Amino acid sequence: MLRTIRRRWPSRLPLDPYIVALLATVGLAALLPARGPAADIASGASTGAVALLFFLYGIRLSTREALDGLRHWRLHVTVLACTFVAFPLLGLAARGLVPYVLTPALYGGFLFLTLVPSTIQSSIAFTSLARGNVPAAICAGSFSSLAGIVLTPLLAAALLGNSGGGFSADSVGKIVLQLLVPFLAGQLLRRWLGPFVTRHKQLLGYVDRGSILLVVYTAFSEGVVQGIWHQVTPLRLLALLGVEAVLLAVMLALTWYGAKRLGFGRGDRIAIQFAGSKKSLAAGLPMASVLFGAHASLAVLPLMLFHQMQLMVCAVIAKRRSRDPEPTSPLRESATALPVGTRKGG
């Protein structure tokens, strides 16, 4: 019965069920924030949850598959450039909206969302629905996630600095201990733990999501206790949504038409659009808890809103792409299915 409800959810309600769970967690933190000893316990549990998340990421990422995917290097470089170059440049351009449209705190979160890596699961799902190059989407999402573990903190240090709501040089040590060390440990132990993780993929998926919910509860509890939410008005939230809508529209257009200018076929353009225009909530939330500390509640708000927006918009685009007519020329159809590196001039 539960599976049936989950399958029918997208057609009945345009909200991701996990977003609903996140919003419920935010509501719980607003009504019953952790205080005193409970806050210390929640903070310690959140730190452990982040380390566990990145440990599992390290186990799941196949180094062999990542190396095998290097033959698609042009596509992967394009996605990485969209994720870690084009997005941050647009984030920096939005600095001119402060303080007239965005508050400094909201801008810090907005800029942070432009620095996090791309998604994996939703990029693959939308690429498959639109009949695009699914293997390319898998590799592109994996490369982006792997690169984000290093690039996101480095970009945050360079672009956010002390204006990032508490981010400082001390965060580098926390990143190494809470993100990089668990990830590398997962990679080293993958040979032995990989089969176990694969067999219990669904169960560990609940562990992932539960850990992120704990991180969100801890971050928003701290924000409520410190009175951060008095800084955000409904008008500011509407303005933030408008700015994020423009950001998403620009990136969707850039990835689609830019990929065409670069000579990619339809299947690759679909993979580039969905992998290059999205941001990962699963990777961004734990990173924000490390980078922003007590100010993480406002920092993750733009990312949560953008995540839901990208899912709704990309779902519509993927459905429209799925209705595109099949290529009439066998040669053209073959070229679309081939990896970038195997085509003439690729």
pLDDT at residue number 16 = 66
DSSP 176: I
156 closest CA partner among 305, 292, 307, 304: 292
Average pLDDT, the chain: 80
278 closest CA partner among 66, 103, 117: 117
Is the peptide bond preceding residue 99 cis, with omega within 30 degrees of 0?
yes
Q: 86-140, pLDDT tens digit by residue?
A: 999 999 999 999 989 998 889 999 999 999 999 877 888 889 889 888 888 878 8
DSSP 34: -
On the question of pLDDT at 13 being above 50, the answer is no
Q: Which long-range contacts (CB under 8 A, 24 or more apart) does 28-31 make?
A: 28/217, 29/216, 29/217, 29/220, 29/221, 29/223, 29/224, 30/220, 30/224, 30/229
CA 241 – CA 303 distance, rounded (Å): 11
DSSP 96: G
pLDDT at residue number 69 = 55
Question: Angle at the Cα of 317 (from 314 to 321), degrees rounded to 5?
Answer: 135
pLDDT at residue number 337 = 41
On the question of pLDDT at 67 being above 80, the answer is no
276 closest CA partner among 141, 74, 122, 96: 141
In the block, tokens 């399958």 appear at 7
Q: 15-19, 233-237, 256-260 — which one is most confidently predicted on average?
A: 256-260
pTM for the whole thing?
A: 0.76
Contacts of residue 69, defined as CB under 8 A and 6 or more positions apart, other chains included, come to 76, 135, 138, 139, 142, 143
pLDDT at residue number 256 = 97
On the question of pLDDT at 61 being above 90, the answer is no
Considering only residues 87 and 53, tell me which one the structure prediction assigns the higher pLDDT: 87
| 116-125, 233-242, 330-339: least confident range | 330-339
Q: Which two tokens stand for residue 72?
A: 């698609």
Q: May I ask the CATH architecture of the domain 16-321?
A: Up-down Bundle (1.20)
Q: 166-218, pLDDT tens digit by residue?
A: 445 565 666 677 777 888 898 889 889 988 988 888 888 888 888 878 888 88
| 148-152, 274-278, 282-286: least confident range | 282-286
Q: 27-47, pLDDT tens digit by residue?
A: 898 888 888 888 889 888 888
Considering only residues 170 and 341, tell me which one the structure prediction assigns the higher pLDDT: 170
Considering only residues 161 and 157, tell me which one the structure prediction assigns the higher pLDDT: 157
DSSP 84: I
Question: What's the whole-number mean pLDDT along residues 298-306?
Answer: 86
Q: Which long-range contacts (CB under 8 A, 24 or more apart) does 152-158 make?
A: 152/115, 152/116, 152/117, 152/283, 152/284, 152/287, 153/179, 153/287, 153/291, 155/84, 155/88, 155/115, 156/112, 156/115, 156/291
CA 170 to chain CA centroid, nearest Å: 24
On the question of pLDDT at 230 being above 50, the answer is yes
What is the percentage of the chain residues whose pLDDT exceeds 70? 79
CB atoms within 10 A of CB 12: 8
Question: What's the whole-number mean pLDDT along residues 149-156?
Answer: 87
DSSP 15: S
Q: Which two tokens stand for residue 344?
A: 């003439």
